Amino acid sequence: MSEIKMNIPEKEKNGTTKNGEDMSAINDFVNKEYAYGWVTPIEEEPFPFGLNEDIIRKISEKKEEPEWMTEWRLKAYRTWTQMQEPHWAFIKYKTPDFQAIRYYAAPKMKKKSNSIEEVEPEILKTFEKLGIPLEEQKRLVGIAVDAVFDSVSVATTHQEILGKFGIIFCSMSEAIRNYPELVQRYLGSVVPPSDNFYASLNSAVFSDGSFVYVPKGVKCPMDLSTYFRINSAQTGQFERTLIIADEGAEVSYLEGCTAPIRDENQLHAAVVELVAHKNATIRYSTVQNWYAGDEEGRGGIFNFVTKRGKCVGDNSRISWTQVETGSAITWKYPSCILQGDNSTGEFYSVALTRNKQQADTGTKMIHIGKNTRSTIISKTISAGMSQNTYRGMVRVMPKAENARNYTQCDSLLIGNRCGAHTFPHLDIRNSSASVEHEATTSKINEEQLFYCRARGIRPENAISLVVNGFCKEVFEHLPMEFAVEATRLLSVSLEGSVG
Amino acid sequence: MSLLEVKNLKASIEGQTILKGIHLTINPGEVHAIMGPNGSGKSTLAQILAGNENYEVSSDSEILLRGENIISMPPEERTRKGIFIAFQYPVEIPGLSNTEFLHTAVNEIRNARGLEPIDIWDFEKQLKGKMKEIGLDPSFSERSVNEGFSGGEKKRNEIVQMAVLEPILSILDETDSGLDIDALKSVAEGVNRMRSPQRSFIVITHYQRLLNYIRPDFVHVLYKGRIVRSGGFELALELEQKGYDWLKTEEETETSSVGAIS
């Protein structure tokens, strides 16, 4: 059982700097406390530390998985043991000791819960506190939620309504048991188990996550979402999400995440795969707010994630929108493989780092089909002593006639101890391609802040208005509720910036 | 009580002294014009009154707003107390709409004065009304603050903001620069509409032209960080005729004669 522990950061006092400007507002902006840092006091059944084939068999057994799934995991594990951890990203950290992590932790349940009424009250309380009530009468309207607590999905709402449309929305564990043909056909079809070090690790040990299948011609009547909560200490979270939109289907999916404040780093290595068939559209939005560590860089989540979508069919479309404010280290590149002719890939990203956070994030757009189009809008905001990197790749394959890409990377620096970096990579193998890249780097402008203050606006609000303005092109692509949440989150994360 | 009293205001930036002891008293309802050649310190005075913290202000300087010394008050608090500056070079804030910006401002000011916040839809209606009055298309309420505005549109937008915030003391810093005659007239009309026995204005300008439309009660000539002449509207006319060169010659004569004596 864990106790509630809060690190209250000592507020930087310094008032004036070389120009005599009042920087305290900017400091406050950067040193805002993390609001989701509490721990739920619940008994868990954690696995022993470390990783070997027995652990993997135990995970599989725990989840009552069929033999093929166990074998799939073991094969991934054997691949992983042959792999080296990659170090090309612009981040510095101590490689996690993979034998010092628990690979599974689930809240102890009296019995397996089949309905929300049977979920442990402490867990329901946890999600309610996070703003995601799960009980029937309190549920969010117009949005179905899969709630994942450590290694298990504890509840999925609105399943009946979705069922009427033939939409499957359930936890990955359920999908493996109930829809084995779909899982076998699509799992690993976009991110193969041998794809990269952390994807292989995930393939071996993934615990839970969400599964979505939208049948032919169905436009999903509500947004689907998964909320990931890490609670247990020294436990890695390895979720796996698979979303399939069949021909002409449309779905909008949202992902949110938080974790308690802890002094040690915790590993989060997820894999998300999206498959869009002919004329299908998938919109995937993330507001990532894992615990980021304190101002000394202690603790926080290592967020090493592989997210990739495949536009398999003609005229299909995949759109990633992400707002990244949390994690000690973020290392992720939501990507699109544009295989179908006329398919479209989009990536809209806001990444905010402060204190000693490090982010190396961006996207890959792989143009294979004819007339494929991709748009990349990346906004990075660095404050404190953080390092924020955009890394992107646009590849146009020889048969991708008339491919088009537009990339825009804007960096905003708050203070003078942080860094922003841009590494665009273009690999164009067809001369009919049109590829545009624009990049800007600017410091938060004292004149803009003074202008706002001269209109009566508090410095913290002035920063937040300027930063939100900077991010507007990305926020416009978020679903309404998420846009509100993102704006709020940015203001909170930014309170006390610049030094 | 006078609305604003500036006493012995001395200020410098990066070690360079700009203001060398300004004295100025403004009573409610008065319009004061401050004229002077480039580099005389007009904009510095405006920035310091608005609370720009980049200037070092000497410790014996005083700025009294209704008797309260505001010299170390942050800009947002001065605004909440009723000071407004129309900037010479309004900055652009990409992605932030005029409505959102001013709505935030108005509500922060209202909050500081213990008033209920105003709803954004009601506010937008008001804002569009003010825009029409000042000759700015109401669609500018949705545009990002000053982004891509022409020089004239930026200046009109400043006057719109003034009309919305309803200050008791407005400082117009070279609002006339870069305006064509039509824009100048509508800006002046906007100002004149707001004139009242309680509300005062400081109009900073190079040229007498603007003062034909906003008739000042007093004209001050700022030169090398000091107010060297004060008078009525006729002083502005004199300056328009003679230019600023006579100030220079006068000062040079003074210094040279002083030099001769010592």
Question: What pLDDT digit, counting tens, does each position of A260-302 carry?
Answer: 666 667 788 899 999 999 999 999 998 877 777 777 777 777 8
CA dihedral angle for residue B206, residue B211, residue B214, residue B215, rounded to 10 degrees: 130
Question: Is the CB of residue B244 less than 8 Å from the CB of residue B205?
Answer: no
Which residues, listed in sequence order, are joined to residue B116 by a DSSP beta bridge? Answer: none
Q: Taking CB atoms and an 8 Å cutoff, what residues of chain A touch B93?
A: 448, 451-452, 465-466, 469
Please identify which residue in the block is written with the tokens 């609001």.
A35
| Of residues B54, B91, B95, nearest to A19 (C-beta) | B54
* pLDDT of res. A258: 65
pLDDT of residue A257: 63
Average pLDDT (B68-89) is 95
Sorting pLDDT into bands at 50, 70 and 90, what band is B251? low
A454 closest CB neighbour out of B50, B93, B145: B50
Give me the pLDDT at residue A499, please.
36
Q: What is the dihedral of CA B254, B258, B261, B262, to 10 degrees?
A: -170
**Cβ contact (<8 Å) for A450 and B108?**
no
Q: Could you give the CA distance from residue B186 to residue A465 in angstroms, rounded to a whole number? A: 30
Q: Between A163 and B98, name the one with better pLDDT.
A: B98
Give the distance from CA A167 to its chain's centroid: 23
Sign of CA dihedral A48, A52, A53, A56: positive
Edge-first strand order for the sheet with B31-35 is: B83-86, B169-173, B200-205, B31-35, B218-223, B226-231
CB burial of B81-95 (b: ≥16 within 10 Å; e: otherwise) equals bbbbbbbbebbbbbb
Name every chain B residue with its beta carbon within 8 A of the beta carbon of A469.
93-96, 144-145
Q: Which pLDDT tens digit goes with each residue over A123-136? A: 777 777 767 666 66
Structural tokens at position A180: 């084995």
Is A454–B104 a contact, with Cβ atoms under 8 angstroms apart?
A: no
**CA-CA distance, B246 to A32, in Å (whole number)?**
58
CB pairs under 8 A between A and B: 84
Encoded tokens for A346: 């989009």
Q: Using a CB-CB distance cutoff of 8 angstroms, which residues of chain A are in contact with residue B112?
A: 456
Interface membership of A442 toward B (CB under 8 Å): no
Average pLDDT of the residues of chain A: 82
Please, what is the angle between helix B98-112 and helix B151-165, to 10°?
Answer: 30
Question: Distance between CA A179 and CA A276 in Å, rounded?
Answer: 18
| Separation in Å, CA of A175 to nearest CA in chain B | 43
pLDDT at B95 over 50: yes
**Listed range (A165-179, A433-447, B53-67) with the worst mean pLDDT:** A433-447
The residue in chain A having the minimum alpha-carbon distance to the alpha carbon of residue B46 is A454
Rounded-to-integer distance, Cα A375 and Cα A128, Å: 36
- C-alpha span between A73 and A238 (Å, rounded): 13
Q: Mutation target for B interface from A410, A444, A449, A450: give the one with most B CBs within 10 A.
A: A450
- Closest residue in B to A20 (Cα) is B54
The Cα of B139 is separated from the nearest Cα of chain A by a number of Å equal to: 18
Q: What is the DSSP-derived secondary structure letter of residue A84?
A: P
- Residue window 183-242, chain B: list those with CB within 8 Å of chain A: none
Q: Please write the tens of the pLDDT for every residue from A142-169.
A: 677 777 777 667 667 777 888 899 999 9
Give chain A's largest Cα–Cα span: 68
Residue pair B136/B149 in contact (Cβ under 8 Å)? The answer is no
B79 in contact with chain A, both atoms CB, cutoff 8 A: yes
Contact B260, B250 (CB under 8 A): no
Confidence of residue A232 (pLDDT cuts 50, 70, 90): low
pLDDT at res. A77 = 93
Shortest CB distance from B52 goes to which of A448, A450, A458?
A450
Task: Name which of A19, A21, A466 is nearest B93 (Cβ-Cβ).
Answer: A466
Q: Between residues 451 and 490 of chain A, which touch chain B (CB distance below 8 Å)?
A: 451-459, 461, 465-466, 468-473
The whole-number average pLDDT for the span B52-69 is 94
Contact A313, A368 (CB under 8 A): no
Q: Tell me the pLDDT tens digit for each residue of B117-136.
A: 999 999 999 999 999 999 99
> Quick one: closest CA in B to A19, which residue?
B54
Complex ipTM above 0.90?
Answer: yes
Report yes or no: B3 and B168 within 8 Å, Cβ to Cβ: yes
Q: pLDDT, tens digit, for every residue of A346-379?
A: 999 988 888 888 888 899 999 999 999 999 999 9
- Please report, as a single letter, which amino acid is at residue B116: E
Q: Nearest CA to A54 among A208, A204, A236?
A: A204
